[in-house]
Amino acid sequence: MKTIDETANMTAKFLLQIKAVKLNDESPFTWASGRKSPIYCDNRITLSHPEIRTFIRQRFVDIIVEQFGDVDVIAGVATGGIAQGALVAQELGKPFVYVRSEEKKHGLTNQIEGEIKSGQSVVVIEDLVSTGKSSLIAVNALREKGCNVKGMVAIFTYNLAVAKKNFEDADVVLRTLTNYDRLIEVAKEEEYIKDSAMDSLAKWRENPEKWSEERMNQ
């Protein structure tokens, strides 16, 4: 079984290798919010790589067994956590559900797809945590159904202060395979980025809004 540091390093290397994560502080990416960012992350790409997909699944399983013990249900956050969650549930032999960001506007108007019962223990699977707001919507939906959410496991987090506060306020334990700080260190070691970019990348994590404003005003 791999240590936390080994898992963090290997996950970061995999994400960079398959370009699931891209870093560029000189020509930043534009997020859906309109903000500028030196990083773009699409962890769905991992699903196209069997070796990496299997590695992520097994690390998720290890964390769940070690940190949360036996659970009744695995829940994926739509959309990025659906496939990852289904893989984990299959490996553990557990039921699977997924949670939308809101109730459907038609049909049965479900927010949670699949069978879930009050009193069941759940671990939530997410692919990416930014501020944590969308991830915690899924947690709240499960809690409203009377479920005991033991925690959440994600592939990657930006390590933003706002996310840490949101998870603490919601009383949700978050475990991730790797994170932004580890990723940029690995990126430097593997020469995906120059040493000179490290200061700018660190400043983005400390204050994404200020970093974005400065880039937009250049």
Parent domain of 184? 4-210
Give the separation between CA 35 and CA 41, rounded to whole angstroms.
14
- pLDDT on residue 103: 80
- pLDDT on residue 82: 97
Give the separation between CA 200 and CA 191, rounded to whole angstroms.
16
Domain membership of residue 216 (yes or no) is no
Provide the CATH number for the domain around residue 36: 3.40.50.2020
Residue 164's Cβ-count burial label (10 Å; 0-12, 13-18, 19+) is middle
Q: Are 60 and 43 in contact (CB under 8 A)?
A: no
Domain membership of residue 94 (yes or no) is yes
Number of domains comprising the chain: 1
- pLDDT on residue 106: 72
- pLDDT on residue 1: 65
208 contacts: CB under 8 Å, gap ≥ 6: 35, 37, 160
Domain membership of residue 174 (yes or no) is yes
Domain membership of residue 44 (yes or no) is yes
Domain membership of residue 104 (yes or no) is yes
pTM (2 decimals)?
0.95
**pLDDT by residue for the chain (218 residues), tens digit each?**
678 899 999 999 999 999 999 999 999 999 888 899 999 999 999 999 999 999 999 999 999 999 999 999 999 999 999 999 999 999 999 999 999 998 876 776 789 999 999 999 999 999 999 999 999 999 999 999 999 999 999 999 999 999 999 999 999 999 999 999 999 999 999 999 999 999 999 999 999 999 999 988 87
Domain membership of residue 24 (yes or no) is yes
- By three-state DSSP, how is residue 124 classified? strand
Report which of 55, 117, 41, 111 is spatially closest to residue 84, judged by C-alpha positions: 55
Residue 3's Cβ-count burial label (10 Å; 0-12, 13-18, 19+) is exposed
- pLDDT on residue 89: 98
Backbone φ and ψ for 25, nearest 5 degrees, come out as -85, -15
Domain membership of residue 217 (yes or no) is no
Q: Are 138 and 124 in contact (CB under 8 A)?
A: yes
- pLDDT on residue 9: 97
Domain membership of residue 215 (yes or no) is no
